């Protein structure tokens, strides 16, 4: 025994802790992808058809040669493309996402308040979608081929077919303007003052500040946009979870668990959903991307001051720095989520770590 151990090289750090090695590899991939994301936004910014100087300064200022020269100098527009990319990257690292053409304020400052608003809506939507999707998907799988399954199939396909931006307008019109059961636009009633900022998520901050009335108002304002946003992802998750559960139901260990006489609830909770957890995790990651896309189309309707409304206003006004800023921030958020999903894979399934 001792002979074999001494003849081997001392185990490296990641050989002793495979999970650590896995995390480091994933982290490396994510950093590279993040660089790629900045490259995409840079190329799209640099390749703008037309005169970027005139676009950024406006017609008036662009006719002044001194202003133009100063702008070209400041943004290094006279340098080569690789040099300009490095300048762009250096600016990004200092938190400079450019200046909004519409408002003249730094994009980074404007996005800083928008990110928590969108994170709050997206987190709520993913919780709602996952809860409903898990329930409907499991039910559909258990009633496979029967009427319940068919109805759920049509329902989830309907969810995947509704244009979210239209549903948002319809919901706002019906539940706020007509019926008056939902609160109006925005994150809070005008009579409330926002809670002291800790996380930027109003619901959490109200709880931390010990203000239940404010919490319920924030929650009520979340309800409609979250439900509208969730419909598509509920459809998506239901279809995928049904398929994942069906796959597991067909395995020997589920048959064994049933044959053993375990109660159905325990078989589903402890065996089926656990066995299906990896594909479910994958589709939750995908659903997050869909939700981030959806916010762009939904938030503006509810005047929700998040990334989506900012993107909508930037797009409508062709404010390119604003649009690119949203693209970059959402790209990074999505990368972080995918990184977290990858880590969870490694935790849930030891085989993944070795791949």
CB of 265 to other proteins, least distance (A): 26
Q: Is 330 in the site for other proteins (CB under 8 A)?
A: yes
Tell me the Ramachandran region of residue 12: left when phi exceeds 0, alpha when psi lies from -120 to 50, beta otherwise: beta
Contact 299, 307 (CB under 8 A): yes
User: What does the alpha-carbon distance between residue 340 and residue 355 come to, in Å, rounded to a whole number?
Assistant: 17
Tell which residue, 62, 232, 107, has the closest CA to residue 164: 232
Q: Which part of the chain contacts other proteins (CB under 8 A), choosing from 3-11, 83-91, 112-120, 288-296?
A: 288-296
Adjacent-strand bridge partners of 99: 106
334 touching other proteins, by CB under 8 A:
yes
Residues forming a β-bridge with 106: 99
Q: How far apart are CB 49 and other proteins at their closest, in Å?
A: 6
Which residues 118-147 are close enough to bind other proteins by CB under 8 A?
145
**Coil, strand or helix: which one is 237?**
helix
Q: With CA atoms as reference, report the closest residue to 254 among 269, 239, 240.
A: 269
Paired tokens of 48: 């703008």
Neighbours of 213 (CB within 10 A): 9
Using CB under 8 A as the binding rule, the residues of this chain from 152 to 211 that contact other proteins are 153-154, 157-158, 160-167, 169-170, 172-173, 177
Whose Cβ is closer to other proteins: residue 154's or residue 213's?
154
Considering beta carbons, is residue 325 or 346 the nearer one to other proteins? Answer: 325
Residue 302, interface with other proteins (CB under 8 A)? no
Q: Name the residue nearer to other proteins (CB basis): 205 or 299.
A: 299
Q: Is residue 307 within 8 Å of residue 93, measured between CB atoms? A: no
Q: Which is nearer to other proteins, 105 or 146 (CB)?
A: 146
CB of 261 to other proteins, least distance (A): 26
Is 308 exposed, middle or buried (CB count within 10 Å of its CB: 0-12, 13-18, 19+)?
A: buried
Number of residues that bind other proteins (CB under 8 A): 57
Residue 231 within binding range of other proteins, rule CB under 8 A: no
Footprint on residues 23-52 left by other proteins (CB under 8 A): 33, 36-37, 39-41, 44-45, 47-50
Q: Give the interface segment with other proteins, choosing from 78-86, 126-134, 181-189, 310-318 (CB under 8 A).
A: 310-318
Interface segment toward other proteins; rule CB under 8 A; list 181-189, 209-217, 318-326, 342-350: 318-326
Per CB under 8 A, the segment of 82-90, 203-211, 255-263, 287-295 that binds other proteins is 287-295
Neighbour count for residue 297 (Cβ, 10 Å)? 19
One residue of 241, 326, 346, 353 binding other proteins per CB under 8 A = 326
In whole angstroms, how close is the CB of 36 to other proteins at the nearest point?
A: 4
Closest approach, Cβ 266 to other proteins, in A, equals 26
Transcribe 164-223 into DSSP letters.
HHHHHHHHIIIIIIIS--S--SSSS-TTSPPPPPSSS-HHHHHHHTT-HHHHHHHHHHHH
Q: Does 301 interact with other proteins (rule: CB under 8 A)?
A: yes
Cβ proximity to other proteins, 89 vs 219, nearer residue? 89
Q: Which is nearer to other proteins, 92 or 262 (CB)?
A: 92
Read out DSSP for 262-306? --HHHIIIIIIHHHTHHHHHHHHHHHHHHHHHHHHHHTTTTT-TT
CA distances for 142 relative to 51, 145, 249, 268, 302, angstroms: 60, 9, 9, 10, 38
| Nearest-approach distance from CB 228 to other proteins, in angstroms | 12
* Site residues (vs other proteins, CB under 8 A): 33, 36-37, 39-41, 44-45, 47-50, 145, 150, 153-154, 157-158, 160-167, 169-170, 172-173, 177, 246, 250, 289-290, 292-294, 296-297, 301, 311-312, 314-316, 318, 320, 323-324, 326-327, 330-331, 334-335, 338
């Amino acid at each position: 025994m001792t002979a074999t151990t001494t003849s081997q090289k001392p185990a490296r750090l990641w050989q002793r802790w495979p999970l650590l090695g896995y995390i480091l590899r994933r982290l490396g991939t994510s950093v590279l992808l993040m660089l790629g994301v900045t490259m995409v936004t840079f190329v799209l910014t640099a390749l703008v058809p037309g005169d970027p100087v005139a676009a950024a300064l406006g017609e008036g200022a662009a006719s002044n040669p001194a202003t133009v020269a100063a702008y070209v100098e400041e943004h290094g527009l006279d340098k080569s493309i690789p040099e300009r990319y490095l300048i762009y990257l250096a600016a990004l690292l200092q938190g400079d996402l450019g200046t909004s053409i519409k408002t003249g304020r730094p994009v980074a400052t404007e996005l800083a308040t928008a990110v928590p608003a969108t994170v709050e809506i997206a987190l709520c939507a993913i919780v709602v979608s996952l809860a409903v999707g898990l329930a409907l998907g499991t039910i559909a799988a258990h009633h496979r081929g029967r009427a319940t399954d068919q109805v759920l199939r049509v329902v989830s396909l309907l969810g995947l077919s509704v244009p979210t931006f239209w549903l948002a307008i319809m919901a706002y019109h019906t539940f706020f303007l007509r019926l008056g059961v939902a609160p109006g636009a925005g994150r809070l009633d005008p009579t409330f003052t926002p809670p002291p900022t800790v996380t930027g998520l109003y619901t959490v901050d109200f709880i931390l500040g010990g203000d239940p009335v404010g919490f319920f108002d924030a929650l009520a304002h979340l309800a409609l946009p979250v439900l509208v946003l969730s419909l598509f992802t509920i459809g998506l998750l239901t279809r995928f979870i049904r398929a994942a559960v069906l796959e597991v139901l067909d395995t020997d260990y589920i048959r064994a668990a049933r044959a053993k006489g375990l109660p159905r609830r325990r078989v589903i909770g402890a065996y089926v959903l656990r066995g299906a957890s990896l594909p479910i995790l994958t589709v939750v990651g995908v659903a997050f991307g869909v939700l981030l896309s959806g916010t762009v189309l939904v938030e503006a309707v509810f005047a929700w001051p998040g990334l989506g409304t900012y993107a909508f206003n930037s797009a409508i006004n062709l404010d390119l720095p604003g649009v690119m800023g949203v693209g970059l921030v959402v790209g990074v958020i999505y990368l972080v989520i995918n990184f977290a999903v990858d880590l969870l894979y490694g935790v849930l399934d030891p085989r993944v770590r070795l791949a």
